[in-house]
Amino acid sequence: MAAPDRYAVVGNPISHSKSPRIHTLFAAQTGEDITYEALLAPLDGFAAAVRDFIAAGGRGMNVTVPFKEEAFRLAHRLTERARTAGAVNTLSFACDEILGDNTDGAGLVRDISANLGVAIAGQRVLLLGAGGAARGVILPLLAERPIVLIIANRTADKAYDLASKFPGTSGSGFADLAGQSFDLVINATSAGLANAELPLPAGLFAPGCLAYDMVYGKETPFLEQARAAGAKGADGLGMLVEQAAESFFVWRGIRPRTDAVREMLRRP
């Protein structure tokens, strides 16, 4: 009998990663014969860790903090969504070639539109943050045709710079948002990890607004602010599971169901 195909997530740190659990659940659900492990790479040893995994028969890898930009540079070929994101979270190995993809934006859009039932088309959308996570979701968000997509960041110059690369968006500082309101506000900053509140002007959340924080597993100050202003709130766990499902689809050609997996991860 053939050995199972090997996959892994590589990062530093990595012990907190939920990806092995998610992909093991996907494999059980779809009957795909795979193994999926977590690999800790030294901060200066990402490329070596990938090459060792390929040499050991690995078929693909997810890449997490802090290696997504290095994975972008290591890939021989990139999908369009990886190229525009400037970062890679999914590597596939075949025919001596490393293919880089980025499934984060697809995961976010699917969670918002399919799971939370919120259409992005025709909506006023605000994206908070201008780091790798923000950059990775801009093109998939634009593909949904919002009427407005504003990128706002604490360091406003980074938001202006990012917006200049994506026609159809505009950049802003937080204070400049005063007087505007949005139907969908996506927090792609890491502020919630440190329980930091964002200095957002009042009136930002339009009636019926969805406030989405990419940070998952906790009620962040951003979600508290949004709920206090009457918005609906969602954390990033759904995005995490959906980007994993998209990676699984890239590797195996099968799209796993995500609802039960999301439920399982929510249980304490």
- Enumerate the active-site residues: 68
CB-wise, 60 or 105, nearer to ligand NDP?
105
Kindly state the smallest distance separating residue 190's Cβ from ligand NDP, in Å. Answer: 4
Which pair of structure tokens corresponds to residue 107? 């995961």
Question: Is residue 86 left, alpha or beta, with left meaning phi > 0 and alpha meaning psi from -120 to 50?
Answer: left
CB-wise, 5 or 142, nearer to ligand NDP?
142
Tell whether residue 131 is a contact of ligand NDP (CB under 6 A). yes
- Using N-to-C axis directions, what is the helix angle for 237-252 and 19-30, rounded to 10°? 50
Q: Which residues contact 83 (CB under 8 A, 6 or more apart)?
A: none
- Where does this chain touch ligand NDP (CB under 6 A) — which range of 10-18, 50-58, 175-183, 212-220? 212-220
Tell whether residue 191 is a contact of ligand NDP (CB under 6 A). yes
Kindly state the smallest distance separating residue 74's Cβ from ligand NDP, in Å. Answer: 18
In the bound state, the residue with its beta carbon closest to ligand NDP is: 131
Tell whether residue 118 is a contact of ligand NDP (CB under 6 A). no
CA-CA distance, 15 to 11, in Å (whole number)? 9
Tell whether residue 137 is a contact of ligand NDP (CB under 6 A). no
- Where does this chain touch ligand NDP (CB under 6 A) — which range of 15-23, 42-50, 132-140, 200-208? 132-140
CA-CA distance, 145 to 116, in Å (whole number)? 18
CA-CA distance, 103 to 17, in Å (whole number)? 17
SS3 157: helix
CB-wise, 84 or 243, nearer to ligand NDP?
243
CA-CA distance, 104 to 110, in Å (whole number)? 10
CB-wise, 141 or 215, nearer to ligand NDP?
215
